[in-house]
Amino acid sequence: MASADVSASIRSISDELERASTTVAEADLSAFAALLDDAERVFVHGAGRSGLALRMTAMRLMHLGKRVHVVGETTAPAIGDGDVLLTASGSGSTGAVVTAARTAAEAGAGIAAITAVADSPLGELADAVVVVPAAAKLDRTGAASAQYAGSLFEQTVVVVGDAVFDALWHASGATADDLWPRHANLE
């Protein structure tokens, strides 16, 4: 097996992530953040690695004092009016995510979506959409990303989530000491 050049991979991934995250439309990010900020409760739902990335955002929103639930956990209550479903799907057509978005819309909840395909079923259901310029999971051409499958999309989901948290935190006027008591203590 050839010697792995991890340093070159880090540079390549960093470059792609910078390009993807800095080309997301500022107006879309503002609407997305406002929807989450105004939510009574936030429900987080994504499949696979996208879902794992969103769980990081769920934790940070909880640190802000938001009432946050992960869809599928046994303690997640019913979604309703005033709530927001926060979703991520590169294709925007992941079956369980789109079904959850339809259910949330029928219950009167808002939908915040991160996707690579604006005119996807998820994008069309969403009240606020952040479109990430990344390769779809099945795109192996290397045209949109040199990385495997949906890696760039999933990485950008993490960056967008942290950026929204950071912006909402600073806008709140809370200090790090104010947030700290909500940090997990059963680790």
Cβ burial, residue 13 (10 Å; 0-12/13-18/19+): middle
154 catalytic residue (yes or no): yes
CA 47 centroid distance within chain:
11
Contacts with 141 (C-beta within 8 Å, 6 or more apart), sequence order: 135
Instruction: Catalytic residue, from 18, 73, 106, 154: name it.
Output: 154
- Cβ atoms of 16 and 145 within 8 Å: the answer is yes
CA distances from 162 to 157, 159, 178 (A): 9, 5, 18
Q: Which residues are catalytic?
A: 154
